[in-house]
Amino acid sequence: MSVIAPKFRLGYLIKGVIDNIFWIILLVTLIGIPIVQIVLIYIDFPIIDGEIWNPFRVLDALTHPERALPLVVSFMQSDLFKVVAFPGFGFAALIAAATIFIERKMLAKLQLRVGPFYCGKVEGILQLMADGLKLISKEIIIPAKADKPIFWAAPVLFAATAGAFVALIPVAPGWVVADIDLGLLAVFAVIGFFPIITILSAWSSNSKFPFIGGIRALHQMVSFEIPLILSVLGIVMLTGTLNLAEIVQSQANFPWIIFMPVGAVVFFITILAELERIPFDLPEAESEIVAGWLTEFSGMMYGLVQLGTYLKLYAFAGLFVVLFLGGWNGPDIVPPFPAEIVTDGITILPGALTVEIPGLPLLAHEMINGTIWFMLKTIGVILVILLPRGVFPRIRIDMLLHIGWYKLIALSFVNIFIALALVYGGVIGPGGIL
Q: What is the pLDDT of residue 4?
A: 59
Residue 7 domain flag: no
Distance of CA 410 to the CA centre of its chain: 30
Closest CA to 428 of 236, 263, 230, 267: 236
The residue with greater pLDDT, 80 or 338, is 80
Cβ neighbors of 434 (< 8 A, separation 6 or more) are: 253, 254, 427, 428
d(CA 235, CA 373) in angstroms, rounded, equals 21
Dihedral Cα 257, 263, 268, 271, nearest 10 deg: -130
Structural domain includes residue 49: no
pLDDT higher than threshold 80 for residue 26: yes
pLDDT in tens, 231-257: 999 898 888 888 998 999 888 888 989
Distance (Å, rounded) from C-alpha 183 to C-alpha 245?
Answer: 9
Residue 97's pLDDT band (boundaries 50, 70, 90)?
confident
Look at residue 69 and tell me if it is in a domain: no
Characterize the bridge pairing of strands 340-341 and 346-347. antiparallel
Q: Is residue 44 part of a domain?
A: no
Confidence of residue 353 (pLDDT cuts 50, 70, 90): very low
- Residue 35 maps to a domain: no
Orientation of helix 408-424 relative to helix 208-231, angle to 10°: 20
Q: Is residue 89 part of a domain?
A: no
- Going by pLDDT thresholds of 50, 70 and 90, the confidence category of residue 431 is low
Give the mean pLDDT of the chain: 79
Residue 219 within any structural domain of the chain: yes
> Residue 345: its pLDDT value, please?
46
Q: What is the rounded average pLDDT of the residues 213-221?
A: 80
Of 43-57, 262-276, 359-373, give the lowest mean pLDDT range. Answer: 43-57
Tally of domains within the chain: 1
- At residue 347, the pLDDT reads 45
Q: Residue 208 sits in which domain range?
A: 139-424
Residue 386: inside a domain: yes
Burial class (CB within 10 angstroms; exposed 0-12, middle 13-18, buried 19+) of 419:
buried
Q: What is the pTM of this model?
A: 0.79
DSSP assignment of 331-371: --SSPPP--EE-SSSEE-STTS-EE--TTHHIIIIIHHHHH
Q: Quick one: pLDDT at residue 348?
A: 45
- Say what angle helices 261-274 and 408-424 make with each other, to 10 degrees: 150
In this model, does residue 366 exceed pLDDT 60? yes
Distances in Å between the alpha carbon of 413 and those of 195, 269, 396?
24, 15, 25
Average pLDDT over residues 158-186: 87
pLDDT in tens, 115-171: 777 776 677 777 778 777 787 777 777 877 777 888 888 888 888 899 889 989 998
Q: How far is CA 290 from CA 98, 207, 213, 294, 403, in A?
A: 26, 12, 9, 9, 25
Residue 362 and residue 73: Cα distance in Å, rounded? Answer: 11
Given a cut of 50, whether residue 344 has pLDDT beyond it is no
**pLDDT of the residue at 380:** 92
Give the pLDDT confidence score for residue 340 in this predicted structure: 44
Percent of the chain with pLDDT over 70: 81
pLDDT of residue 298: 77
Q: pLDDT tens, 37-94?
A: 777 677 666 665 566 666 666 666 666 666 666 667 667 777 777 888 888 888 888 8
